[in-house]
Structure 1
């Protein structure tokens, strides 16, 4: 069974929020113009070279990742007086808590070391990480007394397994099973993060009478839908519609046809749930029968027993079919924790109310997210007739910026970044940001800009609530290089920047797990193809790491897909991420002209769906910053018309 990531690397994606990994850097901003820095910044802008001791530290980190006790003991003993003594200690202790598969160990040998570590480094980011690890060990032991003491000190509290252990602890102490089951509804959302703890919690709540058999089976079914079949059985036991789920995952059209003939053999509840699963997988195939399957489910009820995926795709199926009644009913029936986590559902609920002629209630819905600067916040403001320009700029003083140079978390983070330890660097940097005011966040973002850490510029400026600086939230490094390239091929500069911000956060040496690299995350084969097309006769693969070459090839490819897809920024953005053939295939599935926002929301790939919305939202703000122009996001999204898919020569 798929083992859920835990321990040291469990929140890589959440912290980085880019979907990329990084090659070892030589510098953080190759060939970009560097501002003149105060002397206090100069040493930080050019960190010392990586030493042999640093490389040993990096090896220690890799050994700790594998929970290799012998190797970590060996390496840590050689790193006496290393500046990151807390990390050396952490990397030595952590493998003693977990085995090679990532499961907590059953022995108590490291307890005294953990307690000493938590005492020595209390209040630090790494102590909170250690506490997270130890809570998993204590939970497995069922040492609830000590677990409860440590859980109260866990600052981030962002581990699903730890939350499940906390509920198990309360259950063991006699708290109401019904109340705990209700509390679990905001925790048991994504089986990908359940691990052992949540697999114990669900049967325990069911056995205690707090959760019905149907509810337990629904959680198990959600796991099965994601391919965790062993987990599904542990959570809910045998599922009466298990075979239907299995068929729906591989051939939803067949499941739809077959169940249309056999539905009467099942109870009303199981009919509803089967139609919900079939609807989900039909919707992911952009099959118009998804709307019909979900309407059959809606007539039967049991919305609360649908998985998160089925609840969300029910809305998307309604959008694709322009079935506003289904859209409204689907959102009404959502788990409140699901409904509130994404502004999409607030926006589309407002649109459904508007389609019913309930303009006043629709306005109330749009107002709920109109103060957000994301994709759906922009669309909501447009529905309310409000402009989408960047907010007024809050400036910070040199004194406020200078103060950031002495922040311990930033100093440590910079050195970790220099060693290409971005996970650790982000931890230190983000921990330092906790409890900062908006002006402090802007000062920190400006400091990051001055030392050329542009991903931290974006990440930090993005956190402000009332006072903003969108020149930091949407920075424009490499402008001297990118502007002439875009101008030469008539490529919209705001769109190009919006894409780079999403692709790499302006980290030149960013590289993806599939081989894309650089500011525009260009794939090697794509680079070779584009170089040939534009007559770059001196291109070799090693030049893809060159700033100007990367921007030239990426910009030209972006322009090529735009032309290939009839000038649609939605289709071209999707194609840049998922490939032109997929973008064309998704377009081919349309049954009529479809507004760009609906097309974007119904893209089957989670990554591409998020990507397209972010790129185009970014582009709108970049347009405001670069040109002082406020453009309608709806106009930028346009209307996508059906067209038979054609084979593209573009890679």
Structure 2
């Protein structure tokens, strides 16, 4: 979520508030939530806290409640988990089995099964685990997958093969839990994984701050102190290790340079390129963490070191490389820089059918059109068929109680296995009931038949258009930002206090309101659509002016603040492609945000105007500039 918002010479208190379409919340929510609904919400909170007594007490008072499956789930779930993880007794097993039988083939049954699999895995009840695991539909829990590999290992499957499978799984230490830590130690004991590989996984955890986990995974790391030093002060770690590297083995030198390179690159320090070059000479790319592998590419991009970019991508974990189209695009760019045009074309072609930031850039490299695809229409009968689906009806009711997590679960479960036309019908239905985030969610999934007016909807246009026109703000960019910020959910709020369609921070809102002459402004007015869009749009325009008209810099500033955007620009050593600047933004959230906002803006321009500027031209070429103090918050 954004940390900021917008301003100009518009006096918002003089702008008449138009008749707005009925909002997501007002459409779904009753005038007052019933007492049983409030009790249901309390039950949900008790289940989140694994409060067995409270959950039992509340569920007993919700007999015949419409969401009987959720009542049962919230009652049973605390009996499976406690403060230390999963409970070891068998007291809830019969209830789980009865639940799975009664509510089979539902989203909640799939969730319950995953919860129970964590318990079965911890118990080493592999016979029951394997039966239940085979019934999983979504199978998207990393810990459950780790238990699955442990089950196979216990039954004598080849540990070397299982270790290969684990490399595709053990990518993000925040997902590991007890199961994945146990898998690593078991694979080492079985001879399928080397101690060096285990230490590499542990080192990845240490890089992310999971020190206890790091020790459990890999034991004492010979370069553990270097990892800590690089995290604290990478420039000093670089200088110190330059003097002391010869004391370490070739393997440890290589991984140390990789770690130092990662943290230098995150500081946008040009020495990152040198550190990674030293690592490249030594080898051991496979022992670098995902973070180090990815930042090796980014360090090469910042230095325009295309040989390092190519080598870094060649040495990537294949799963990491294939998951993100960035690496396919930049590999093609490296080949092109080396004069290998035919091979570069082959690389760009691999992602040219994707409707994302790098798919767009790849199509431009191939000289293909970036216009939106032809619109597929759906019939009233197809929309009516969607409206009668149980999951959508339940989802609306859950949204009305502001239970977005559960509402999304119901809607996404219904979207499984849908044809493109069914997805478009679901998107159109969601549009009609003003669930705009669900419009985007459904339309974004189509593969062959599309409707980009649903994928990139324009609600509140009668409010936003005159505001943008009055301050000369590009409307497609404003929509691209809102789509990323809030998905058009009026009462969206972030953990840091940003709110509304444009996710405005209260202090920023006050600043902007004062600047544009919005009298009698108070923060409770941020929930008003007109006010929110006025302040957000104005602030976005202010940022664009402050950052010399660069959309990349202004988009980054909207998310992370203008001082950070200016500081990142100051580190440039020469004119730099906007795409490279975006890819090398140190903050992950902001990096993803900027690419999505600008990709969105490109498609919005095409949807609204029928034509669109080259994405590369929008990104521009950013020149270095010393950071100056800005009064903008």
Deviations 1:122-141 (A, max 9, x none): 00000000000000000000
Q: Distance in 1 between matches of 2:83 and 2:288?
A: 35
Partner of 1:239 in structure 2? Answer: 221
Give the conservation status (yes or no) of the 8 Å contact 2:2–2:560: no
Flag the structure with more relative contact order, 1 or 2, with Cα contacts below 8 A and sequence separation at least 6: 2
Give the conservation status (yes or no) of the 8 Å contact 1:66–1:100: no
User: Do structure 1's residue 53 and structure 2's residue 36 form an aligned pair?
Assistant: yes
Partner of 1:310 in structure 2? Answer: 292
Give the conservation status (yes or no) of the 8 Å contact 1:47–1:415: no
Give the conservation status (yes or no) of the 8 Å contact 2:28–2:400: no
Give the conservation status (yes or no) of the 8 Å contact 1:331–1:339: yes
Q: Partner of 1:187: helix, strand, or coil?
A: coil
Partner of 1:263 in structure 2? Answer: 245
Consecutive unaligned residues of structure 2, counting only runs of 5 or more, are: 4-17
Give the conservation status (yes or no) of the 8 Å contact 1:413–1:425: yes
Partner of 1:79 in structure 2? Answer: 62
* Candidates 7, 13, 20, aligned match of 1:32: 20
* Candidates 581, 594, 599, aligned match of 2:576: 594
Partner of 2:558 in structure 1? Answer: 576
Matches within 5 A, 1:510-589: 510-589=492-571
Partner of 2:80 in structure 1? Answer: 97
Partner of 1:10 in structure 2? Answer: none
Deviations 1:285-331 (A, max 9, x none): 00000000000000000001100000000000000000000000000
Count of matched residue positions in the alignment of Structure 1 and Structure 2: 618
CA drift at 1:32 = 3.0
Partner of 1:610 in structure 2? Answer: 592
Q: Partner of 1:575: helix, strand, or coil?
A: helix
Deviations 1:118-177 (A, max 9, x none): 000000000000000000000000100000000000111000000100000000000000
Q: Distance in 2 between matches of 1:614 and 1:243?
A: 37
Matches within 5 A, 1:98-117: 98-101=81-84, 103-117=85-99
Q: Partner of 1:511: helix, strand, or coil?
A: coil
CA drift at 1:47 = 4.8
TM-score, normalised by the number of residues in structure 1: 0.94
Partner of 2:351 in structure 1? Answer: 369
TM-align CA RMSD: 1.4
Partner of 1:6 in structure 2? Answer: none
CA drift at 1:631 = 1.3
Q: Partner of 2:239: helix, strand, or coil?
A: helix
Partner of 2:272 in structure 1? Answer: 290
Matches within 5 A, 1:131-142: 131-142=113-124
Q: Distance in 2 between matches of 1:200 and 1:77?
A: 38
Go from structure 1 to structure 2 and tell me whether the alpha carbon gap of 1:323 and 1:305 turns closer, same or farther (over 3 Å shift): same
Matches within 5 A, 1:203-214: 203-214=185-196
Q: Distance in 2 between matches of 1:62 and 1:333?
A: 46
Partner of 2:369 in structure 1? Answer: 387
Q: Distance in 2 between matches of 1:48 and 1:414?
A: 15
Deviations 1:506-560 (A, max 9, x none): 0010000000000000000000000000000121111110000000000000000
CA drift at 1:630 = 2.1
Q: Distance in 2 between matches of 1:341 and 1:47?
A: 42
Q: Distance in 2 between matches of 1:436 and 1:44?
A: 26
Q: Distance in 2 between matches of 1:640 and 1:583?
A: 12
Consecutive unaligned residues of structure 1, counting only runs of 5 or more, are: 1-17, 21-29, 36-40
* Candidates 429, 435, 446, aligned match of 2:428: 446
